[in-house]
């Protein structure tokens, strides 16, 4: 969607607004020309896809609503509330004792309790902000998101469309901790399929204008129909429930009827997004199966049945990094351990010519023992083109997509390094990084990150790919060395995230 007015031009992609500001005249003119072109197309009647676009935006708003609601639940932790209550009680006791002491003429004792009261006040205020204050702020944000959802739904109904209701959660018949599958919808916004703009940006402008969304013309099967399709294709498995929906598929938890092992089944539902998608899906499944790496989710089988395609994948029960954001937020040891594991996994993939294109917290899942694994290899590449074919559609997630993805420029291994740096920045700060400036320099706030680690992230958050690390291995070695300097000895083993990557990375982390 395009916003034009007296102020800065703005574009909305997957429910998130990017505003054209703090740019030079040439880049601003480029953005305004692009926005004007799309607005003219709208005025001339080229908006038959508006209901589908509105439905996609509603789903994105609901994803954001789920994320903020989860953060609100975590803000009002019962232990924080109990601590706040005890601190308030202590403050009242100190204040009462001071008043009683002064009233009885015991001025020395009264001064002591008065000082204790003054010292307790800031502690109580901090505790109140950490619990009640954050809860109220997030509640207000939830209200604004719901209002936006209602406005979009009203607009869609006015155009004669049907609002897609959220699917009721299905509880699996197993009890693993926080069951999560490949790219669950509640973790991060699903990859958005977009068409590259036809306008050529001026030289030296790494930042992007949002491409025009392209929405699939088909509809996904209902959960009940999808389960029937899966059990017909894989009679040896009993489907226990839906785990989530990604950019081009639905993911289900299944149990082998005889062996009892659990698997994640991903059903391809958006085959019409690109030509020859079935053969591409097969090629990518074959590549994923060949990626035998301890930090890459395994693919066990590829199946075609009655015109639909699915892959049988490793089931990871430990949840995603997005779902565990509150637990990981601002903790350098586990965050750096995740960064090293993911970088080593990317190095193995890049060595086989595979670029992920959609690194984000929702695609980093944890095994039962706490090891992190990268998922959705190849699915993003399915949308972007494979084996050197020209790309007409690309998959990206706003906030983690590199500028060259938004500009529809060449995608390289360094694109994944931007996504990884953006993901680690999110885990450190709770926010996604803003787009780089015109000169390519990151516009991030790194004050909460140890300086050496911040320098590593800033390098790969640069808007120009040539200024980033030249490989995932280089990124990993730099991050390991920076963490080894900034953190305590033995930090990698104490992080709680098992690292099973290349030995040189472990050596660098211990130096």
Residue 429 belongs to domain with CATH number: 1.10.510.10
- Report whether 323 contacts 178 (CB < 8 A): yes
Rounded CA separation 54/157 (Å):
10
Lowest average pLDDT, out of 174-188, 343-357, 368-382, goes to 174-188
* pLDDT (mean) for 502-508: 95
* pLDDT (mean) for 449-464: 95
- The pTM for the full model equals 0.60
**Structural domain contains residue 94:** yes
Rounded CA separation 128/182 (Å):
37
Rounded CA separation 71/325 (Å):
9
Residue 20 pLDDT > 80 = no
Which letter, b or e, does each residue of 120-145 get, where b requires 16 or more Cβ atoms within 10 Å of its Cβ? Answer: beeebeebeebbeebbeebeebbeeb
**What's residue 190's pLDDT?**
54
269 by DSSP, 3-state: which? coil
Lowest average pLDDT, out of 179-193, 218-232, 373-387, 399-413, goes to 179-193
pLDDT band at 78 (very low <50, low <70, confident <90, very high): low
Rounded CA separation 421/80 (Å):
31
Residues 306 and 337 in one domain: no
Q: Which residues pair with 396 in a beta bridge?
A: 192
Residues 484 and 343 in one domain: yes
Q: What is the pLDDT of residues 98-142, one digit of tens each?
A: 899 888 888 888 888 888 889 888 888 887 877 777 788 878 888
Mention every residue, 6+ apart, whose C-beta is less than 8 A from residue 351: none
**Structural domain contains residue 33:** no
Alpha helices in 105-241 (DSSP H): 107-128, 134-158, 223-233
**What's residue 235's pLDDT?**
92
pLDDT band at 398 (very low <50, low <70, confident <90, very high): confident
How many independent structural domains does the chain possess?
A: 3
Kindly give the pairing relationship between strand 372-374 and strand 364-366.
antiparallel
Identify which has the larger pLDDT, 196 or 329.
329
Q: Which of 143, 166, 189 is where one domain is finished?
A: 166
**What's residue 75's pLDDT?**
65
Mention every residue, 6+ apart, whose C-beta is less than 8 A from residue 383: 191, 193, 247, 248, 273, 274, 393, 394, 395
Q: Which of 166, 189, 212 is where one domain is finished?
A: 166
**Structural domain contains residue 253:** yes
Query: What percent of the chain shows pLDDT beyond 90?
Result: 32
**Structural domain contains residue 355:** yes
Cβ burial, residue 498 (10 Å; 0-12/13-18/19+): middle
**What's residue 455's pLDDT?**
96
Q: Which domain holds residue 124?
A: 48-166
The residue among 60, 58, 63 whose CA lies nearest residue 152 is 58
Rounded CA separation 32/209 (Å):
9
Identify which has the larger pLDDT, 157 or 224.
224
Residue 310 pLDDT > 50 = yes
What is the chain's mean pLDDT, rounded?
A: 75
Residue 9 pLDDT > 90 = no
**What's residue 403's pLDDT?**
92
**What's residue 137's pLDDT?**
82
**What's residue 254's pLDDT?**
95
Rounded CA separation 43/45 (Å):
5
Residues 147 and 183 in one domain: no
Residue 186 pLDDT > 90 = no
Neighbours of 194 (CB within 10 A): 23
* DSSP assignment string, 71-82: HHHHHT-HHHHH
CATH number for 187: 3.30.200.20
The residue among 316, 172, 184, 296 whose CA lies nearest residue 250 is 184
**What's residue 127's pLDDT?**
78
Residues 408 and 294 in one domain: no
Q: Which of 166, 182, 204 is where one domain is finished?
A: 166
Residue 199 pLDDT > 80 = no
**Structural domain contains residue 30:** no
Identify which has the larger pLDDT, 394 or 152.
152
Count CA atoms within 13 Å of residue 62 on its CB side: 17
Residues 217 and 355 in one domain: no
Residues 101 and 217 in one domain: no
* Terminal-to-terminal C-alpha distance of the chain: 50
**What's residue 245's pLDDT?**
75
**What's residue 62's pLDDT?**
73
Residues 355 and 469 in one domain: yes
Neighbours of 495 (CB within 10 A): 22
pLDDT band at 476 (very low <50, low <70, confident <90, very high): very high
Residues 451 and 364 in one domain: yes
**Structural domain contains residue 381:** yes
Residue 497 pLDDT > 90 = yes
Choose from 156-165, 181-190, 249-258 the range with maximum mean pLDDT.
249-258
Residues 178 and 309 in one domain: yes
Sign of CA dihedral 116, 118, 119, 121: positive
Which phi and psi (to 5°) does residue 498 adopt?
-55, 135
Residue 423 pLDDT > 70 = yes
* Residue 29 known to be catalytic: no
**Structural domain contains residue 120:** yes
Residue 10 pLDDT > 70 = no
The residue among 150, 155, 178 whose CA lies nearest residue 368 is 178
Residues 67 and 154 in one domain: yes
**Structural domain contains residue 320:** no
Query: What percent of the chain shows pLDDT beyond 70?
Result: 65
Identify which has the larger pLDDT, 192 or 391.
192
Residue 293 pLDDT > 60 = yes
Residues 343 and 387 in one domain: yes
* pLDDT (mean) for 195-212: 41
List the catalytic residue out of 358, 376, 416, 478: 358
Q: What is the pLDDT of residues 51-70, one digit of tens each?
A: 656 666 676 677 677 667 76
Residues 160 and 68 in one domain: yes
Rounded CA separation 112/98 (Å):
8
């Amino acid at each position: 969607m395009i916003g034009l007015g007296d102020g800065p031009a703005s574009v909305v992609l997957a429910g998130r607004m990017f505003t054209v500001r703090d740019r030079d005249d040439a880049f601003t003119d480029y953005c305004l020309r692009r926005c004007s072109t799309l607005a003219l197309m709208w005025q001339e009647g080229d908006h038959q896809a508006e209901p589908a676009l509105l439905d996609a935006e509603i789903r994105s708003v609901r994803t954001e609503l789920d994320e903020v609601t989860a953060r609100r639940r975590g803000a009002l932790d019962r232990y924080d509330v109990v601590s706040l209550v005890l601190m308030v009680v202590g403050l009242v006791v100190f204040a009462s004792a001071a008043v009683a002491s002064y009233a009885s003429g015991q001025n020395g004792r009264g001064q002591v309790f008065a000082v204790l009261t003054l010292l307790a006040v800031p502690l109580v205020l901090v505790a109140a902000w950490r619990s009640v204050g954050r809860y109220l702020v997030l509640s207000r944000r939830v209200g604004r998101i719901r209002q936006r959802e209602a406005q979009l739904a009203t607009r869609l109904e006015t155009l004669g469309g049907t609002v897609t209701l959220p699917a009721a959660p299905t509880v699996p018949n197993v009890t693993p901790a926080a069951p999560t599958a490949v790219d669950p919808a509640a973790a991060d916004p699903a990859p958005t399929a977009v068409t590259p703009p036809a306008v050529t940006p001026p030289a030296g402008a790494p930042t992007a204008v949002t491409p025009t969304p392209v929405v699939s013309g088909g509809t996904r099967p209902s959960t009940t129909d999808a389960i029937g399709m899966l059990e017909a294709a894989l009679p040896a498995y009993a489907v226990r429930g839906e785990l989530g929906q990604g950019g081009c598929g639905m993911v289900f938890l299944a149990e082998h009827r005889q062996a009892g092992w659990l698997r994640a089944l991903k059903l391809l539902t958006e085959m019409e997004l690109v030509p020859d998608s079935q053969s591409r899906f097969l090629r990518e499944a074959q590549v994923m199966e060949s990626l035998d790496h301890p930090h890459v989710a395994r693919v066990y089988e590829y199946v075609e049945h009655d015109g639909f395609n699915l892959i049988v994948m490793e089931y990871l029960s430990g949840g995603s990094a997005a779902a565990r954001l509150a637990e990981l937020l601002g903790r350098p040891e586990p965050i750096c351990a995740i960064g090293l594991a993911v970088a080593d996994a990317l190095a193995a993939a890049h060595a086989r010519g595979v670029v992920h294109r959609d690194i984000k917290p929702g695609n980093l899942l944890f095994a039962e023992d706490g090891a992190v694994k990268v998922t959705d290899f190849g699915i993003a590449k399915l949308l972007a083109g494979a084996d050197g074919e020209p790309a007409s559609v690309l998959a990206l997630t706003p906030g983690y997509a590199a500028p060259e993805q938004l500009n529809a420029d060449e995608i390289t291994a360094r694109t994944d390094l931007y996504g990884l740096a953006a993901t680690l920045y999110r885990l450190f700060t709770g926010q996604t990084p803003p787009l780089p400036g015109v000169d390519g320099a990151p516009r991030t706030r790194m004050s909460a990150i140890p300086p050496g680690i911040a320098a590593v992230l800033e390098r790969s958050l640069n808007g120009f790919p040539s200024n980033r690390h030249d490989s995932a291995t280089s990124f990993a070695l730099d991050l390991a060395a920076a963490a080894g300097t900034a953190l305590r000895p033995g930090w990698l083993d104490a992080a709680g995230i098992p690292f099973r990557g290349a030995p040189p990375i472990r050596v660098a982390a211990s130096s």
